[in-house]
Structure 1
Amino acid sequence: MCVCTCKPAYDSSVTDAQWVLIEPLLPRPAAVLGGRPYVHSRRLIIDTISYVLVSGCAWRLVPHDLAPWSIAYQWFRAWTRDGTWDRVHEVLRERVRIADGRDPQPSAAVLDSQSARSSEGGEQIGYDAGKRVRGRKRHLLVDTLGLVLHVVVHSASVQDRAGARLMLTGARARFPLLGLVWVDGGYVNSVDAGLVGWARRSEGLEVVAVPRNADVKGFQVLPRRWVVERTFGWLTRCRRLARDYERKTAHAEAMIKFAMIRLMAARLAGEELPAPRSDIEKEAARRLAEDLKD
């Protein structure tokens, strides 16, 4: 393995404190297992993937002082396939919850979706007639801290209620304590309450809709739902996630998990990722402070 400990001075690069948290969770180096030593260190690979995520550049345009794009993409693809991102993400999420005084397993969650334009072709490209977006839809299930529990990326043409079933199927098996899920009013209406009944019968989950105030026009910060909206705000700080640039949905989901890995590692290290705070994040912070007082 490369013995060089220096790292490029990019804002997207992981810090020493963050690397201490991430390194033990990655697959062991080949040299340790008796194989051929890596030419490029795992930290340099992570920094290269992080540069692509934060800057939004094409893989082929990464700076020459980072790992070659083909090597970094090869590891990103391999760690997506073998579940490395899932394992790292789950461990860090539990540590963040414990550090916040919560149980490692959540008992309540918030579900929502975001339609993202696709820049190129690839798997499952469709048209969201409601949002007038051609691309894919990102479905997120987050806990009450805004940490991602589950993510599914699919065609934008898939209706929210169908996407919600994809998200909630097997949710109790992954999170045994989960019993309550808040959703947008669009998932549940007076004409079709099938999602609520299905979730109760099949998954043992109580799905509760948080309706909008019809008298208020424009953007609203809704109770409970602001948590998942804030998570979408965290993700779109990364230019790679401002659109959907991935050709495979598995890679699109992996980029979201990697973005959360960076965020959680920074939080556990007592650091803040450099980014301006949006209006919704400021309002969310205010509401969170009020909840803590109660």
Structure 2
Amino acid sequence: MWEIIKPLLPARDLRKGGGMRKYGDRLVLDSVFCVLRSGCQWRMLPRDLMPWDAAHRWFTKWRRDGTWDRVHDELRRQVRVGAGRDPEPSAAVIDAQSIKTIEGGEARGFDAGKRTTGRKRHVIVDTMGLLVAAVTSASVQDRAGGRIALARLAKGFRTVSLVWADGGYANSVDSKLLSWARNALNIVVEIAKRTDDVKGFKVLPRRWVVERSFGWPVRNRRLARDYERLTATSEAMVKAAMIRLMLVRLAGQSLRWSHESHRKTARANTVEDYIAA
């Protein structure tokens, strides 16, 4: 995985001054991914990784200079090309997820519908479920958050002309969202509605893509709750989780071993130990 991401990280020009770095980029990534996966505090990083203050400083630096964004977008292009798709998406899916917050901080509110005190993650994904745009805001409704997310989408991805959404983006007060997106952004927002004659859970076309995408980041304990005080840090953590996911895909690995392969490996090791003895 390191060989894939190494060329995408910023190179330092020593001719502009400064000395040699004490910690390399690979150690920075390992430290950030450790916090992301384990959910530990920065101060509790293992001693064989970077000092916590240096790791946090580099994570923040890459957030501010756009490194996480650039790496994430380039990896998404590579994953799409590897799957036989165009590098840039032409259609997307939008939805929102309410997440409880542990700390205080900015943009913290109450979602009356989900009865959740915290933040909302408004995300737009492509048809493969890969993140295209993310906005973390407070107790705003889906329609208001949708305007922010769609505006960011239109600014960064002129190739996207169709976005699927649920009925919450076209209800009551702000029913003008669809016409606004079409006229101002040249994006058609199509509502994927649930049929009235179906009871209980049902997988809806297109909608399941973004629901699956919500499940990917929260496998990382740091993202199961929102521990960050800044919304920009929350967005950077979500992108770091997607970067790790795409690196695993590009490397042809699996996020976790299957029970069967683990059992066979353990049995083979036992037999070899027995023969050697």
TM-score normalised by the chain length of structure 2:
0.89
Matches within 5 A, 1:1-294: 18-29=1-12, 31=14, 35-155=18-138, 157-189=139-171, 192-274=174-256
Q: Deviations over 1:5-27 (max 9, x none)?
A: xxxxxxxxxxxxx1111111111
Asked which structure has the greater CA Rg, the reply is: 2
Q: Helix, strand or coil for the counterpart of 2:219?
A: coil
Higher relative contact order (CA 8 A, sep 6+): 2
CA pair 179-58 structure 1, distance change in 2 beyond 3 A: same
Report deviation, 1:272.
1.6
CA pair 246-170 structure 1, distance change in 2 beyond 3 A: closer
Aligned partner letter, 1:176: R
2: CA distance, partners of 1:27 / 1:240: 25
CA pair 69-227 structure 1, distance change in 2 beyond 3 A: same
Q: Gapped runs of 5+ residues in structure 2?
A: 259-277
1: CA distance, partners of 2:202 / 2:241: 26
Q: Is the 8 A contact 1:110 1:227 kept in 2?
A: yes
Q: Deviations over 1:257-291 (max 9, x none)?
A: 11111111111111121278xxxxxxxxxxxxxxx
Q: Helix, strand or coil for the counterpart of 2:225?
A: coil
2: CA distance, partners of 1:45 / 1:182: 37
Report deviation, 1:30.
5.9
Q: Helix, strand or coil for the counterpart of 2:59?
A: helix
Report deviation, 1:184.
1.1
Report deviation, 1:189.
2.7
2: CA distance, partners of 1:170 / 1:44: 32
Report deviation, 1:190.
6.2
Q: Deviations over 1:87-125 (max 9, x none)?
A: 001111111111111111111000001000000101110
2: CA distance, partners of 1:233 / 1:53: 15
Q: Helix, strand or coil for the counterpart of 1:114?
A: strand
Q: Helix, strand or coil for the counterpart of 1:116?
A: strand
1: CA distance, partners of 2:137 / 2:193: 25
Report deviation, 1:186.
1.0
Q: Helix, strand or coil for the counterpart of 1:146?
A: coil
Q: Is the 8 A contact 1:93 1:147 kept in 2?
A: yes
2: CA distance, partners of 1:89 / 1:174: 13
2: CA distance, partners of 1:234 / 1:275: 16
Aligned partner letter, 1:87: R
CA RMSD of aligned residues (A): 1.7
Q: Is the 8 A contact 1:171 1:203 kept in 2?
A: no
Q: Is the 8 A contact 1:179 1:206 kept in 2?
A: yes
Q: Helix, strand or coil for the counterpart of 1:178?
A: coil
Q: Gapped runs of 5+ residues in structure 1?
A: 1-17, 277-294
Report deviation, 1:251.
0.4
2: CA distance, partners of 1:96 / 1:33: 35
Q: Which has the larger helix fraction?
A: 2
Report deviation, 1:212.
2.2
Aligned partner letter, 1:183: A
CA pair 77-205 structure 1, distance change in 2 beyond 3 A: same
Bigger Cα displacement from structure 2, 223-232 vs 31-40: 31-40
Q: Is the 8 A contact 1:120 1:247 kept in 2?
A: yes
